[in-house]
Structure 1
Amino acid sequence: MSASATAAASTDPKSYKFNHTMIRVRDPKVSIDFYGRNFGMSVMRKYEFSQFQFDVYYLAFDGADAQHHGIPWYKREGLLEITHNYGTESDAEFKGYHNGNSEPGRGFGHICFSVDNLQACEEQLLNNNVKFQKKLADGRQKDIAFALDPDGYWIELIRNKEAPAPTEQSKVAHYRFNHTMIRVKDIKASLDFYQNKLGMKLLRTSDHPNSKFTLYFLGFDPENKCAENSGEGVSDREGILELTHNWGTESDPEFKGYHNGNTDPQGFGHLALSVDNIEAACDRFESIGVPFKKKLTDGSMKTIAFILDPDNYWIEIIPQNELPGMPLLK
């Protein structure tokens, strides 16, 4: 057996975590205040990359009732990474980031929090002057809402069906960073990638024939708690990926594909997996034909890699430990 094959055998996809979703923000102070004050998220870690003129902050639900309370940030799911490129907050010429829901730049769709009481949550957010893309009363779907963060990113709000019975107030202790949505061109290729290459399980499917799209919810399930495509307990989970497939894109010769957010117009940056053995995991990905945007040996950051999914979205690969050599500030 080759050295590469030996290394590949020493990584277990069942241990992988859908660790975080990265978005770029104009002003980190404003964004951290927004997610903390309105949703109860706190900063788990901050890394400073002054040589590259940016910082990153990892936010998560971390109260006593949080799903991953007490677990180190790199071994948990449901983190939001906000990236701040120095100077955007004070640059009068900066036009802001793209939220991924209009052309050009359509691809990433939203993040989603599941909450204990949708109506109370919406009312509390409105009282805090949070803007909405869609309120509960708008449109045909009365069981979801979309709030807007300071950069215009959409935050879907759904009911956490596993939370305690609703009270008159919505309690952030019961909130979960449930999922991240991206649009995909060819659902067969995407399901093959996320299930067979990354090791995720299909947790739930939702068909919308009137609007000609289907939603696929995937996540890691190492303890096999959720039956395949059953939807059991999904609303109480964190670390779910929603793939949205608009029917016909896979066979439309005029469709040019989705935007991954890393060229103009920028906004969303990447998804991220934390893995048990990063060298072995990267060897495994390479051996099964997964394309890389950045290998471990590329560039100056030798502790992270980036692979590409079938739609060219970036997926960061990080180790399940503090990033060695990174300038940790918190």
Structure 2
Amino acid sequence: MVRIIPMASSIRPSLSSIRFSSRCGVSLSSFNNSSRRLNSFHVGCVTQSQLFSLKASKLVRAEGSNMAVRATGNMAPVSSAITQEDALDWVKKDKRRMLHVVYRVGDLDRTIKFYTECLGMKLLRKRDIPEERYTNAFLGYGPEDSHFVIELTYNYGVDKYDVGAGFGHFGVAVEDVTKTVDLIKAKGGKVTREPGPVKGGRTVIAFIEDPDGYKFELLERGPTPEPLCQVMLRVGDLDRSINFYEQAFGMELLRKRDNPEYKYKIAMMGYGPEDKNAVLELTYNYGVTEYDKGNGYAQIAIGTNDVYKTAEVIKLSEGKVTREPGPLPGINTKITACVDPDGWKTVFVDNIDFLKELE
């Protein structure tokens, strides 16, 4: 659903992506090529917002401010003036789910073949937008309205991307790691870590690379409703990142582990238990505070009930909002975009609008 194009003059921005352009700002769409039209739910305008503002560590109402959204002709408040404590409490109660992860590949058909034949994913949908010179494919282990999925982006004529040192891997839960690795080898896939217990633990894992060099960790576990279970990113200050994702994103710290022998720490963050939900794995390597992110990995999309409140809480939590909340021109899907303290991008998408796009 969401695509951020790399900074290359030869690649044109597209309507079905988040894009950064001096002319038209940021745009996102998940429409099929045959139905690029307005949603029936129309958000016509947003007046001056009833702002959250940080003052003496409190979120207070700006004097005389007002926020409303016109929806099907009726004016309705989007947010209310609340304290900082109430704002952070709202984040915990907001209906949030990791929707999909977005990244770029050099040969879409080759990648689809690898993911479906070797990793057992299903091609959920595919769309080509020739006038914008890109193609998207959505793959996963279940429908997009209930599962965390992958969005692949192929930009015409671009056959290679820099994965970077900051991106770690995707995690896929399988019932038998050894059998999966044997299958991947038979299909000509690259295995970078043979099956065996994780260092310092008992979980059987293996590492493989897809045709573009993105790493996948295979984790041996029983049947799970969310086989696409992890996105691992490296950060420069683990405690800072944990605090940010708890406060700004409403995630829960599921577990934290220090491995002094191997000089790294990890924190699992998410919206539910690891065996039933996709989670974000944050990794801190001792002494490393910055990473090259490359131009292959793009972002994660997360659903929310209110993009306006989401943006203000992100600001309150010292995050940087890169796209102010509101409906996108022409499509009316409401989004907001931000970066975390390490510069990793996330887009929040209105839950109702997301389901309408899937229709």
- Note the C-alpha offset of 1:59: 1.4
Q: 2:66 aligns to what?
A: 3
CA contact (8 A) 2:268 2:282 kept: yes
Selected match of 1:147 from 208, 217, 226: 208
**What CA deviation, in whole Å up to 9, does each residue of 1:131-162 have, x standing for no partner?**
112212699678321111111110111111x4
Largest Rg, 1 or 2:
2
SS at match of 1:34: helix
**Bigger proportion of residues as strand:** 2
Q: For the structure 1 residues 53 and 3, does the alpha-carbon distance in structure 2 shift closer, same or farther, using more than 3 Å as the test?
A: farther
* Rounded Cα–Cα distance in structure 2 between residues aligned with 1:182 and 1:35: 21
**What CA deviation, in whole Å up to 9, does each residue of 1:25-74 have, x standing for no partner?**
11111111111111221233445554532232221102xxxxxxxxx52x
CA contact (8 A) 1:42 1:61 kept: yes
1:127 and 2:186 equivalent?
Answer: yes
**Within 5 A, what are the aligned runs for 1:132-281?**
132-136=191-195, 143-160=204-221, 162-163=222-223, 176-221=227-272, 226=273, 234=274, 236-250=275-289, 257-261=290-294, 266-281=295-310
1:39 and 2:119 equivalent?
Answer: yes
Question: RMSD between aligned alpha carbons?
Answer: 3.2
Q: For the structure 1 residues 209 and 286, does the alpha-carbon distance in structure 2 shift closer, same or farther, using more than 3 Å as the test?
A: closer
Q: 1:59 aligns to what?
A: 139
CA contact (8 A) 2:148 2:226 kept: no
Q: For the structure 1 residues 175 and 136, does the alpha-carbon distance in structure 2 shift closer, same or farther, using more than 3 Å as the test?
A: farther
* Rounded Cα–Cα distance in structure 2 between residues aligned with 1:287 and 1:43: 39
Q: 1:309 aligns to what?
A: 340
1:107 and 2:171 equivalent?
Answer: no
**What CA deviation, in whole Å up to 9, does each residue of 1:182-205 have, x standing for no partner?**
000011210111111100011122
Selected match of 1:290 from 309, 316, 319: 319
Q: For the structure 1 residues 302 and 282, does the alpha-carbon distance in structure 2 shift closer, same or farther, using more than 3 Å as the test?
A: farther
SS at match of 1:281: helix
Q: For the structure 1 residues 139 and 260, does the alpha-carbon distance in structure 2 shift closer, same or farther, using more than 3 Å as the test?
A: same
Q: 2:12 aligns to what?
A: none
Q: For the structure 1 residues 58 and 293, does the alpha-carbon distance in structure 2 shift closer, same or farther, using more than 3 Å as the test?
A: same
1:82 and 2:152 equivalent?
Answer: yes
Aligned length: 275
Counterpart of 1:40, as a letter, is G
- Note the C-alpha offset of 1:4: 4.8
**Within 5 A, what are the aligned runs for 1:9-20?**
13-14=92-93, 15-20=95-100
SS at match of 1:7: coil
* Rounded Cα–Cα distance in structure 2 between residues aligned with 1:297 and 1:8: 13
In structure 2, list runs of 5 or more residues that go unmatched: 1-60, 69-76, 81-86
* Rounded Cα–Cα distance in structure 1 between residues aligned with 2:316 and 2:147: 26
**Normalised by the size of structure 1, how large is the TM-score?**
0.73
Identical-residue share of aligned pairs (%): 26
CA contact (8 A) 2:97 2:304 kept: yes
* Rounded Cα–Cα distance in structure 2 between residues aligned with 1:55 and 1:153: 19
Q: For the structure 1 residues 137 and 248, does the alpha-carbon distance in structure 2 shift closer, same or farther, using more than 3 Å as the test?
A: same
